[in-house]
Amino acid sequence: MKKSGVAALAWIVLLSAVGLSAAADGADLLKAVATGDEKARLEAIDTLGRTGENLDGAVPALIGQLGDPSATIRAHAAHALGQIGPTAKPAAETLAGLAGDEDVRVRREAVRAYRSIAPGPEVSIPLFTKLFEDSEPEVRIHIMDALAEAGKEAVPGMIRALENRKATYWACLVLAEIGSDAEAAVPALEKLLQTDDRPEVCREAILALAAIGPGAAGAVPSLIKVLDEKEPINDGPVVYALGAIGPKAKAAEPIIRKLANDEASSPFLRTVSLWALARMNPDDKELAKEVIPRLIDALKAPAPRLRAAAARALIDLDPDPEVVRPLMKKAMDDASPEMLNDVMHALSGLGEEAVPRLIGALGAKEVRARAAAILARIGPPAKAAVPALIEALSDENAETRGEILLALAAIGPEAKAAVPAAGKALQDEDMNVRYAACYALGQIGPAAMPAKPRLLKNLGGPDQFLSMASAWALCRIQPASAEICRKAVPVLTEALAEPDTMTRVQAIESLKLLGPHAKDARGALEKALKDPDEAVRGAAAEALEALGK
């Protein structure tokens, strides 16, 4: 048969699938999208998603279905537009509006479709800015991430949003997420401090200036004025913002020094003031000798918020090791689990900036496990620590080895150099280390192929959890492998009967990765649609969709 004949046959088959005659043309398919019962309409919508890229009128027809009363119709129409891709650009505005749809399926498919269409910042920024200003709070929350991800390009729109009283608070949050790239918004944020009468808006404007950092130096006089107004509710945020601005905020030093030493100030405000003083005077070693011991003492405070603030302040100031080491060692020796957790949280909050210090900590046996746990919280930005983590895997303590493998897992594909060591850990004497090794290899993904034989050997073994964990990893290493599919599907299907919710969810997610190759699991997945847990039901629905008809 000639190529044109094959194409015609394919078109006839597609039309037959939606209940149309073989003689029907594109116009009939477009009509079927909006007429007939829901099942026929859904089939027509799905067909347009697969074939509509080259059919005039497909995109407008699908856009028309995004406003249908049926959430199922709306979700399928959004999915179809996402399948069509960039040529469905006219649907961008309507899809963005569905970010606040009452149905979770519609929201999910609308976001996926919008990303697939990828209309570009010249469309996205004005569109999201308008939605941001005009919509209800629950809609704004769904689009804040998109605006923050746009970075500097979103700033002009956010400056305009600051003039809209309904949007002001949310715009401040986005500008804080954008950080130093939002410097152009400083005058508008400063104006808010002078004109807006809502304490919560002023607080978020102050925190946005803090996130901008030294670029917000022009706002220092206004920030000092807020401190002078004797409204204690925003004193902490203002002092934090002045400290974040750093040496350019030295005009505020007298009033901050007073707050740091005033017994009438709250312990939290005194702690933040000490940090701000040190930030304004980074080269003043005498001041550091005064500030550091007081911050270390604050680590022992009963209030978690105060401990966390002190830990973050100490880490951020990066004091001279000769000054801080003996004091910190004593504090850590007496530390409660809660205090240690606050220090770890503060370190992980610094992200990549903290990695060099944590690499050094991996060399110290007594803190190695904690350092690995913090690196795990940092995730992919901690990739520079991979060689040190590999070396530390020789630690004699099984719990520490497990923490190191979890850190490598959190770093993900960037930890591919650890595949030989993680593969070796599959035979570790400790079962939890073996489980962690499976997790690490799965998170590393296709680059972990050298571990495939050992993982395959684990399938169907006496340790059921190790068998499931190995199947989970293999599905992420080589999901298209017929051998893996044949051996992993029964293991993963069996895991759907496990009492632990997350085990069931992870097994379903693995089957989803296998797509049509996991067809033998269809019955178990359909049964999972009635699972008592919503997360399991949702995962099962997505996996069945991946299996196809």
pLDDT of 217 higher than 70 = yes
Q: What is the pLDDT of residue 5?
A: 37
Q: What is the pLDDT of residue 350?
A: 62
Decide which of 302 and 543 is more confident.
Answer: 543
What is the Cα–Cα distance from 84 to 73, expressed in whole angstroms? Answer: 17
Q: Distance between CA atoms of 14 and 22, rounded to whole angstroms? A: 9
Each residue's pLDDT tens digit, 331-343 = 555 556 665 665 6
Contact 10, 3 (CB under 8 A): no
The C-alpha atoms of residue 363 and residue 194 are separated, in whole angstroms, by 51
For 60-99, the pLDDT digits (tens) are: 999 999 999 998 899 899 988 988 888 888 888 888 777 6
Average pLDDT, the chain: 80
pLDDT digits (tens, 9 = 90+) for 192-212: 988 888 888 898 999 999 999
Q: Which CATH architecture has domain 488-549?
A: Alpha Horseshoe (1.25)
* Best CA proximity match to 125, nearest among 100, 102, 98, 92: 92
Q: How far apart are CA 54 and CA 204, in angstroms?
A: 48
State percent of the chain over pLDDT 90.
Answer: 22
To the nearest whole percent, how much of the chain has pLDDT over 70?
Answer: 79
Q: What is the mean pLDDT of residues 260-279?
A: 84
Q: Which pLDDT does position 3 carry in this prediction?
A: 36
> Who wins on pLDDT, 286 or 177?
177
Delimiting residues of CATH 1.25.10.10 domain(s) in the chain: 1-119, 488-549
Which homologous superfamily is 1-119 in? Answer: Leucine-rich Repeat Variant (1.25.10.10)
The string of DSSP codes covering 19-46 is: T--TT--HHHHHHHHHSS-HHHHHHHHH
CB atoms within 10 A of CB 263: 6
Q: Which residue has the higher pLDDT, 159 or 318?
A: 159
For residues 393 and 359, what is the distance between their CA atoms, to the nearest angstrom?
13
Q: What is the pLDDT of residue 6?
A: 34
pLDDT tens-digit series, residues 491-542:
888 888 888 788 888 888 888 888 888 888 888 888 888 888 888 888 888 8
What are the tokens at 415? 């930890």
pTM, entire model: 0.52
Q: Are 111 and 105 in contact (CB under 8 A)?
A: no
144: pLDDT strictly greater than 80: no
